[in-house]
Structure 1
Amino acid sequence: LVGSLIVMVMFSGYENFVSRIDVAQEGEKLGWLGKLDAGTLKLKVAASIVAISSIAGPVTHRFMTPYDVSKAGLEMLVRQTADELGCRNIRANAVRPGLVPTDATEAMVNYPPVVDDYVSQMPLGRVGTTEDVGRLVRFLLSDESSWITGTCISVDGGHHLRRGPNIEPFMEMALGEARYPAGPSN
């Protein structure tokens, strides 16, 4: 509880980059709205839910289909939540981080062929920081965003304006060339 505002941040990641993501299980974990206590639906104060999506929600990333699909599904869940629970004073939004160094992205961030391709697709030309993402989350959780709901906001240095990165070199290094044969480039 922040003053008279109830806040909730939802994020879901993966144990390591090459893990297969079970999209059905991901959807079940993220089905938090169906699990909201009936009393919560009768709030007398505002509530704000912020889900952490990814640039992979709206932009394809070759060889990351399960992850991309799970993030696109999360974004639809946010929009549905905003539509269905707005009348109860519950706002729902998502943040789409681009490449930000975290435990989950460490291997990619430290693999020059991939990070260089990522940065070349960002008009602002740099990898993001957790502070870049945190400032947007804080804003969306605050009363300053009291008329914003059902939206997914990219915080990615403009990466969403261009194509997804070429992660093929990383996948070949991580999983072997036989599993991810080279194909035509994007």
Structure 2
Amino acid sequence: QRKALISNEVLGEEPLDLGARDLFTKAVWFEVENRSLTGAGLIEAQFPGALHAAEHAAIGLLPLVASSDRWDIGGVSTALHADTGVPTIFVYDGHAGGAGFAERGFEKAKAWLTATRDAIEACECESGCPSCVQSPKCGNKNNPLDKDAAVTLIDVLLKDARDSAAPEDSRAGAPAPNAV
């Protein structure tokens, strides 16, 4: 995309034929079972928008628990990830080798996701805006996004984590994120 510097207006788009690039970094990810989402009232057609909106909002709120800028972080979400086999949100450090942002998100997952959920729900917009679920750097043109379904998805993540946390776990009640 070519964009105007001041207004960020898209001036044109041209396909590029570039080779693949690899980024070896650190990531945190959240998995959720289809049945948990459908049990919360979502239908499968809502999964991509819910995951994508939650991903954007989580990236925007990560600086609350990790001294980062949203431009230091990347993310991807998918309704059926080939490796996890379930709907998954990934948030990764945008620096080779990682910079510790995803690891701090992992350590503070409950606070991070709770703040993310609360920020989305508190936003007064109807269906999603730059203050809650849209991202200025989205490669998919902020599509699909489902603000309400993102709140439901994060509620499911937080509830599933509470239900599965062992009482002796020092992180009881924290979502069970994964990190590499």
Considering Cα pairs closer than 8 Å and 6+ residues apart, tell me whether 1 or 2 has the greater RCO. Answer: 2
Structure 2 length-normalised TM: 0.26
Report the TM-score when normalising by structure 1. 0.25
